[in-house]
Amino acid sequence: MTLTIATSLDDILAGLAQGARPIAGGTDLVVGSRQGKGSLPDTLIAIDRVAELNTIDVGADATRIGSGVTHARLMTDTTVVEQFTSIADASALVGSPATRNVGTLGGNVMNGSPAMDTGAPLVVLGAKAELASTSGTRTIGLDELWTGPGQTSANEDELCVALVIPNRPTASGSAYVRLEYRRAMEIAIVGAAASVEFDGDAIGAVNVALTAVAPTILEVTGLNGIVGSALDDATLAQVAEIASEQAAPISDLRASDKYRRHTIGVMARRAVDAAARRAAGEQIAVPVNRALGVGAVQ
Amino acid sequence: MSTPSNRTLNAVELQVNGVAYPVAIETSRNLSGVLRDEVGLTGTKEGCDDCECGACMVLLDGQPINSCSYLAVQAQGREITTIEGLADGDDLHPLQRNILAMGGVQCGFCTPGMLMSATALLERNPTPTEDEIKIGLSGNLCRCTGYAKILDSVAATAVEIS
């Protein structure tokens, strides 16, 4: 097998067109191969030194986050923390400092795990994935991208080069919380992201997406009923009920389906509450799990 | 790990603790294995081989990585720092001196990885809170000490160097 270190996006796309597979931090690919989940691809192209993939560009209508931006940067970058806070919440929970130093947003998204932490935040923020190949670039919704556990609709010769997120309205906030059994090197038992926008004192818009309760990240539907309501206990209880109803969890060694179905409601409720508090101007430090003591205790 | 489909060797130069080491390695070799078996620096340990325990922690351009699950060829052109790079000749690094003096070493297997994470932490944050130290070392497992003495020795070092 061979590994080439790319220095430009053109290098990468030419390599992929000839059958090479991309590697950034290797925190899924190399770890997976050492666990025996699969062998390493015969031809690898390292994409982590390409400057074009490592930018965060704030445009007039949308912000473009390069797929090579690491979790360590996402959890501290001012734009991400202030505007797309749920992504920072999620990135701060990924693995350990070592994982976050080399693990990337694009890697998390394209690995396609239903337990990916950045996925639910990206969904509630309305992100789209920009895919490039030697034949051109296309931008698709995440619901179109993720087709099953570990599966995406991207062609073999396509690289996810960026996630494009609409800029945020005023009086809005987002948050990501997850259930975890320990504070580091953890994978979500379940998790929930929420985005809330206020219209005066009432909820103007609300989006919720769920982690690790379906074959892909699950966007909750049917929340229109609470638009126009005040954010009170009854509203939050409704969010929890709807999220639990729509979840389609499995039982595995980490949790039973019943436990996941119950706790996803709790996480959804907490995510909406934290997002709303941020939308109202409260400063809740990243990650919400630590600031509010939502996750594992020490 | 699975047998590579071919055994082509790559001539690679790895920069470790400021010294250039030319090695001939297969693409599939992990960095910890190459550091131990080709470069000859055995301070870096392999524990879980699964990115969980942190015994293999080294610094890549100053930031901690799990070298058990990092391809050595991908480290070309980067500065690698291992536990052997901390002391200045016979003078131990303050972290090494403090962890010894404060009883933070028992079996010693986790110690190199702990100290590499601690080195990176103090480099970016010379005055960490207790919680920041815990987060900084959160990718390193110790099965002997109960962590208290390790955390104390990092805190003492922070006070000493700041």
Query: Is B117 part of the contact surface with chain A (CB cutoff 8 Å)?
Result: yes
Q: Of B114, B120, B118, B103, which Cα lies nearest the Cα of B157?
A: B118
- Cα A80 to Cα A18: distance, rounded to the nearest angstrom: 35
Interface contact flag, A26 B76, Cβ < 8 Å = no
- Cα A157 to Cα A162: distance, rounded to the nearest angstrom: 16
CATH, residue A5: 3.30.43
Range of the domain at A4: 1-49
- Cα B40 to Cα B84: distance, rounded to the nearest angstrom: 11
Angle at B136 between CA A124 and CA B13, to 5 degrees: 100
Is residue A88 situated within a structural domain?
Answer: no
Interface contact flag, B74 A102, Cβ < 8 Å = no
ipTM of the complex: 0.93
Residue A23 distance to chain B (closest CA, Å):
9
**Chain B residues within an 8 Å CB radius of A33:** 1-2, 28
Is residue A249 situated within a structural domain?
Answer: yes
Would you call B48 helix, strand, or coil by DSSP? coil
Query: Is A285 part of the contact surface with chain B (CB cutoff 8 Å)?
Result: no
Residue window 50-69, chain B: list those with CB within 8 Å of chain A. 50-52, 54, 57, 60, 63-66, 68-69
**Chain B residues within an 8 Å CB radius of A23:** 71, 74
Would you call B89 helix, strand, or coil by DSSP? coil
Query: Is A297 part of the contact surface with chain B (CB cutoff 8 Å)?
Result: no
Count how many pairs of residues, chain A against chain B, have C-beta atoms within 8 Å.
101
Q: Which two tokens stand for residue A90?
A: 């999620």
Residue B159 distance to chain A (closest CA, Å):
22
Is residue A150 situated within a structural domain?
Answer: no
- Cα A100 to Cα A122: distance, rounded to the nearest angstrom: 18
Angle at A253 between CA B55 and CA A239, to 5 degrees: 110
Q: Which two tokens stand for residue A187?
A: 């994978």
How many CB atoms sit inside 10 A of residue A68's CB? 26
Q: Report the pLDDT value the prediction gives residue B125, as an integer from 0 to 100.
A: 96
Q: Which of A31, A46, A184 sits opposite B69 (nearest CB)?
A: A31
Query: What domains appear along chain B, each with residue ranges and CATH number?
Result: 10-84 (3.10.20.30), 94-161 (1.10.150.120)
Is residue A135 situated within a structural domain?
Answer: no
Q: Report the pLDDT value the prediction gives residue B1, as an integer from 0 to 100.
A: 43
**What are the C-alpha distances in Å from A146 to residues A112, A120, A204?**
6, 12, 28
Residue window 19-58, chain A: list those with CB within 8 Å of chain B. 23, 26-27, 30-31, 33-36, 39-40, 42, 44, 46, 48
Q: Of A198, A184, A152, A194, which Cα lies nearest the Cα of A296?
A: A184
Is residue A145 situated within a structural domain?
Answer: no
Interface contact flag, B27 A3, Cβ < 8 Å = yes
**Within chain B, which residues score under 50 in pLDDT?**
1-5
Residue window 77-136, chain A: list those with CB within 8 Å of chain B. 95-99, 101-102
Q: Which two tokens stand for residue A165?
A: 């997120």
**Chain B residues within an 8 Å CB radius of A42:** 5
Is residue A112 situated within a structural domain?
Answer: no
Q: Report the pLDDT value the prediction gives residue B6, as an integer from 0 to 100.
A: 53
Radius of gyration of chain B (CA): 16
Query: Is B100 part of the contact surface with chain A (CB cutoff 8 Å)?
Result: no
- Cα B120 to Cα B99: distance, rounded to the nearest angstrom: 16
Is residue A142 situated within a structural domain?
Answer: no
**Within chain A, which residues score under 70 in pLDDT?**
295-298
Q: Report the pLDDT value the prediction gives residue A65, as an integer from 0 to 100.
A: 98
**Chain A residues within an 8 Å CB radius of B50:** 31, 34-35
Q: Of A58, A120, A114, which Cα lies nearest the Cα of A89?
A: A120
Quote the number of domains for chain A: 2
DSSP H or E stretch at residue B120: helix B111-124
Which DSSP state fits B9?
P
The tens digit of pLDDT for each residue in A14-50 reads: 999 999 999 999 999 998 888 777 789 999 999 999 9
- Cα B120 to Cα B36: distance, rounded to the nearest angstrom: 21
CATH, residue A189: 3.30.390.50
Is residue A55 situated within a structural domain?
Answer: no
The nearest alpha carbon in chain A to B2 belongs to: A39
